[in-house]
Structure 1
């Protein structure tokens, strides 16, 4: 049966993308009240309130989060190895990049893969909290959001050691347009930065369904690389 790889790619690229939570801004809309007493010691001699400074001041370029070898391994027939960078109104606070791959194996069907990475950084702000605390809250929301993906089946969440300060991998099965997808989302917090990596795959037109264990292992490796990139971006 004649099939068009380009047509399959265009139909499934969007369908395969996991829903990513909207990242909040790192800044604060609050302004100083102008009350000098808020910045000066009180009559009793107590110090002004403080908050621990954020560790990371900037983010890496999202499309540079992974090495060329990693992209080649996870998305072997990638459309554009340089990735497609998401829009952001503040590149120091949040950013994302994605890659898609469709490998046509002839009579054996096709293999589709989707990889994306998202970064969210928080500053420390008096009256709001430290960057680490704010990132920890967002980390929890990302994990909860991945576990609650609509129509997901066989959802499992496991703590992942050796990546950042804390990391959780969420795996699940889901059907899109009649195709069975295996999905892995790895959420990592490293100090005041949260990294979210999504990696999924499907066998199309008779292709074999990818092995969930391999997708998980590859996603965890990619998440570790993306977290290290955040540290390197800050020297």
Structure 2
């Protein structure tokens, strides 16, 4: 009887030891599990996605009235079907219209050839630690750097300068201090049928007034800039290209507005073209809701 009691005691001791080992192992596993959730919690911190998940159709985003202003020759097209086709524009090639979409227009008039490009780009970050907005900011900064904008002067307001310039800014508009025919022509009501100012044929008109120089804008989207470039010597047909780029959250909008005069020596008017391009940019910003 005593032997049986001894065996039973040993068995009970072994059971206790085994239970203790099992409990210790479980405790170790619990400690490891406590670490893993912490690591997983850190890794699961994902940057916020951008505001926009889709893009509007660029060809339908520009109204007929706006196209009439930007492309005066469109109203000179006699054939109704051809005129409607001109309004529709041509979509640019894109593999994913929710990521990048664009539309082009080209219209000839009796005084000039006008071209317009509207491009939407929705920026998506593939780095979980970088938000779509941050990625879009970096891309916008690259575009602004590539534009090589001049350093702002004390007379630059940083705004779109879409309103008529003040007399003081017009008086000192050219680099030489002489009167700028393009600025004086632009003070008159905008001639929608003849985009090039009649007084802009003088070579001195190539000097862009200070308030129309390429610059950043503080009243369009989250950040924006406008560029203005004139190509070709005075002895040839001059072409001006006004580019407006702005960012709203994770969408970057680019507008390229070109006009090439049909008359040798005539310079497309800077103010008229900038006003029209900036007006379109404001409309597109409203379309995006930004």
TM-score (norm 2): 0.57
User: Which residue is equivalent to 2:245?
Assistant: 187
Asked if 1 retains the 8 angstrom alpha-carbon contact of 2:226 and 2:242, the reply is yes
CA distance in 1: counterparts of 2:41 and 2:138, whole angstroms: 33
User: Which residue is equivalent to 1:163?
Assistant: 220
Aligned residues: 185
CA distance in 2: counterparts of 1:67 and 1:97, whole angstroms: 13
Within-5 A mapping of 1:12-161: 41-42=37-38, 46=42, 48-78=44-74, 80-104=86-110, 110-127=111-128, 129-147=130-148, 156-161=213-218
CA distance in 1: counterparts of 2:37 and 2:277, whole angstroms: 50
CA distance in 2: counterparts of 1:43 and 1:135, whole angstroms: 29
Q: Answer yes or no: is 1:229 the counterpart of 2:287.
A: yes
CA distance in 1: counterparts of 2:272 and 2:68, whole angstroms: 15
Write the deviation string for residues 57-102 of structure 1: whole angstroms up to 9, x where unpaired: 1000010121110001110223611111101001000011011121
Which is higher, the Rg of structure 1 or of structure 2? Answer: 2
User: Which residue is equivalent to 1:21?
Assistant: none
CA distance in 2: counterparts of 1:190 and 1:44, whole angstroms: 33
Higher share in helix: 2
Write the deviation string for residues 134-186 of structure 1: whole angstroms up to 9, x where unpaired: 111111222233449xxxx9794212232111110011111299421111101
Structure 1 residues 139 and 47 mapped into 2: Cα distance closer, same or farther (>3 Å)? closer
Aligned-residue offset at 1:123: 2.5
User: Which residue is equivalent to 1:8?
Assistant: none
Asked if 2 retains the 8 angstrom alpha-carbon contact of 1:143 and 1:170, the reply is no
Aligned-residue offset at 1:126: 3.7
Secondary structure, counterpart of 1:92 in structure 2: coil
Q: Answer yes or no: is 1:173 the counterpart of 2:209.
A: no
Aligned-residue offset at 1:46: 4.8
Q: Which runs of 5+ in 1 are unaligned?
A: 1-36, 105-109
Write the deviation string for residues 10-53 of structure 1: whole angstroms up to 9, x where unpaired: xxxxxxxxxxxxxxxxxxxxxxxxxxx9xx63269757322112
User: Quick one: which of 198, 201, 225 aligns to 2:259?
Assistant: 201
CA distance in 1: counterparts of 2:141 and 2:99, whole angstroms: 18
Secondary structure, counterpart of 1:172 in structure 2: strand
Higher share in strand: 1
RMSD: 2.9
